[in-house]
Amino acid sequence: MIIVLFGAPGVGKGTQAELLAARKQVPHLSTGEAFRQAIREETELGKIAKNYVESGKLVPDDIVTGIVREAMNRPEYSGGCILDGFPRTQSQAESLDAILTSAGSEISCVVNIDVANEEIIGRMLKRGRKDDTEAVIRDRLEIYNSQTAPLLEYYGSHGKLISIDGNADVETVYARIDDVLPA
């Protein structure tokens, strides 16, 4: 089973991925952790990504996809995984589809956790992180809306998209996700 958790920054994708992984016995493949591991292990793609990260530039889609492909080839993900933070662009989505097709697999579902922008801003400001200023959060939401939100249409047109209301406590949101997952 391949599940993609989708939604704007601050909707709780990481939290829900951890709960799903623990309760459904499907490993969570965090793109951020895959990046850190590739950089730590100094893989070829990790070295390239490190140069982009250290210079403050966005890592190109082909490098991001390559790191995710390497991670998905690990034995612990052979039975599927929960992805959060990937894909973020249509190019990444198409590459993920190609990776899965070549492995004889496909995305089971894309669960979009829908939360209003003002609620997201409030949540993220409460986290108390230094880089979570209202201006930075609004900028991240703008980038999400212009670059990543179009994937909702992409996955909707492929019959993979399920949206749930993320305006609730963690357990209620988990129950809503659990209700829509394929058996």
Catalytic residues, by residue number, are 13, 88, 123, 129, 140
Residue 36, token pair as written in the block: 């850190």
DSSP 11: S
Q: Cα(181)–Cα(22) distance, rounded to whole angstroms?
A: 15
Residue type, 59: V
- Find out whether the peptide bond into 87 is cis, omega within 30 degrees of 0: yes
- For residue 106, CA distances in Å to 6, 19, 180 come to 16, 22, 17
* Distant-in-sequence, close-in-space partners of 108: CB < 8 Å, separation ≥ 6: 1, 2, 3, 80, 160, 181, 182
Cβ neighbours around 112 below 10 Å, total: 22
Q: Residue 9, CB half-sphere, CA atoms under 13 Å: how many?
A: 18
User: What residues does 4 pair with on adjacent strands?
Assistant: 83, 110
